[in-house]
Amino acid sequence: EAHGLKVLSMANLVPPGQALVWRGPILHGTLKQFLEEVNWGELDYLVVDLPPGTGDVQLSLAQLTRVSGGVIVTTPQEVALIDAERAADMFKKVQVPVLGVLENMSAFLCPHCGKPTPIFGEGGGRRLAEKLKARFLGEIPLTLPLRESGDRGLPIVAQDPEGLEAQAFLRAARELAAALSVQAFLALPMA
C-alpha cells in the first residue's frame, strides 16, 4: 500500500535493471493471479495500468474479468494519436467502452516564467476524444515538480494538492468518476 492506494506492479517481480520478457501465456497467467489471488480488500475502483498497445495483456484482461471501461492516455503528438486510436479500436473489438481520453504532456511549463510550450503539438487528445465520441478527461502538463515528485515516489496530489499539476489530475479523476457513474447507470437492467 502506498499513499492510501493498494499497488501491485510487475516491476516488483524482477530485480532492478532486468527486463521482463514474458510471452502471452505467462502474462495471461500472471494477470489472472493478480486479479484472483491478490487480497485487494474492498475497492471502489481497480485501476490496471497497461503498457501502450493492443497486445496480449489487454486481450487477457478483457477475457479474464468484466472491464467497466478503458482510458486512452496519449500525448498530443500525431504519431502517438495513431497508436491511441488503435488502442480505442481494440477496446471496441473486445466490447470495452472507452470512458475517456487523457492527454499527457500537453505542454511543457517553463519553471522560470510558467509559459506553456506545446512541444508535442496542441489539442491532439481533445481531437481524438471528439473523433471517438468519448469524454475528454483533461490535459496533464509536463512540469519539473511533476517529474520530481514522480522520481521521489510521491504523488503530486500529496506533495502539492493546490498546484496546477495536482488540480489537473483531480479534474481528470472527477471526469473519470463521472464517466464510470454513467457507465454503471447504463448497465442497469431495464424494468
Residue 49 shares a structural domain with residue 119: no
User: Of the candidates 43, 65, 87, which is a domain's last residue?
Assistant: 65
pLDDT at site 54: 66
The parent domain of residue 25 ranges over 1-65
* Contact assessment for residue 111 and residue 144, using Cβ atoms and an 8 Å cutoff: yes
pTM: 0.90
* Mean per-residue pLDDT, 19-45: 87
Q: What is the tally of structural domains in the chain? A: 2
Cell of 4: 492510501
Q: Could you tell me the pLDDT band of residue 188, with boundaries at 50, 70 and 90? A: confident
User: Of the candidates 25, 44, 65, which is a domain's last residue?
Assistant: 65
Residue 61 shares a structural domain with residue 73: no
| CATH code: domain of residue 81 | 3.40.50.300
pLDDT digits (tens, 9 = 90+) for 86-134: 999 999 999 999 999 999 999 999 999 989 999 999 999 999 999 999 9
User: Of the candidates 65, 83, 110, which is a domain's last residue?
Assistant: 65
- Measured CA to CA, the distance from residue 98 to residue 175 in angstroms comes to 13
* Mean per-residue pLDDT, 170-181: 95
Amino acid present at 183: Q
* Contact assessment for residue 50 and residue 87, using Cβ atoms and an 8 Å cutoff: no
pLDDT at site 52: 76
Residue 2 shares a structural domain with residue 34: yes
pLDDT at site 124: 98
Alpha helices in 41-153 (DSSP H): 56-64, 78-93, 124-132, 144-152
Residue 104 shares a structural domain with residue 127: yes
| Buried b / exposed e along 35-69 (16+ C-beta atoms within 10 A) | eeeeeeeeeeeeeeeeeeebebbbbbbbeeeebeb
pLDDT digits (tens, 9 = 90+) for 132-174: 999 999 999 999 999 999 999 899 999 999 999 999 999 999 9
Q: Which residue has the cell 484482461?
A: 61
* Mean per-residue pLDDT, 70-98: 95
- Measured CA to CA, the distance from residue 136 to residue 48 in angstroms comes to 19
- Measured CA to CA, the distance from residue 186 to residue 14 in angstroms comes to 41
Residue 88 shares a structural domain with residue 39: no
- Measured CA to CA, the distance from residue 143 to residue 168 in angstroms comes to 12
Q: Which residue has the cell 515528485?
A: 149
Residue 47 shares a structural domain with residue 73: no
Residue 108 shares a structural domain with residue 92: yes
| Buried b / exposed e along 87-111 (16+ C-beta atoms within 10 A) | bbebbeeeebbbbbbbbbbbbbbee
Residue 87 shares a structural domain with residue 40: no
